[in-house]
Structure 1
């Protein structure tokens, strides 16, 4: 199980940007410049309101213009589709 988790983290790093709306804390921390505190801040923000744009990172304490510029291309925002059951 641990091997699978590590493999998935490595695969997301190799194959593209991290989705801000679906990433785990560990996945966020794999991005250079994102430590435990910033990863948790991203998760807390997303729990209240899912990201619609990467620029919304600027609404989180600790994410200034320099940080946003450094993170460009490392994140994507894909909407979370909710399925309705009737």
Structure 2
């Protein structure tokens, strides 16, 4: 229970940080990715697994190549992500 509360507080804190700065999907941690709108822990893990197996994303919309990340998820987050 305590672990879930701490995780929730972490996600809330990251959500406020995301509003101020873009998330580099090539270097972001699982927690940073999970804080994106509609992503969550499982999809964040899938993003990390994809970039480890296929190399860095070349453009933000390449995130739609990850299973579970569709165009609608990209559209909700396109102003919050980058591939520096």
TM-score by length of 1: 0.71
Partner of 1:24: 29
In the aligned structure 1, how far is the partner of 2:19 from the partner of 2:62? 25
**Unmatched 5+ stretches in structure 2:** 1-9
What is the RMSD of the two structures over their aligned residues, measured on CA atoms?
2.1
Which structure has the highest helix share of the two?
Answer: 2
The alpha carbon displacement at 1:13 in A equals 2.0
Tell me whether 63-72 or 9-18 shows the greater mean CA deviation: 9-18
How many residues get paired?
Answer: 73
Structure 1 runs of 4+ aligned residues shifted over 6 Å read: none
**Unmatched 5+ stretches in structure 1:** 1-5, 79-86
Q: Is the 8 A contact 1:29 1:39 kept in 2?
A: yes
TM-score by length of 2: 0.72
The alpha carbon displacement at 1:27 in A equals 0.9
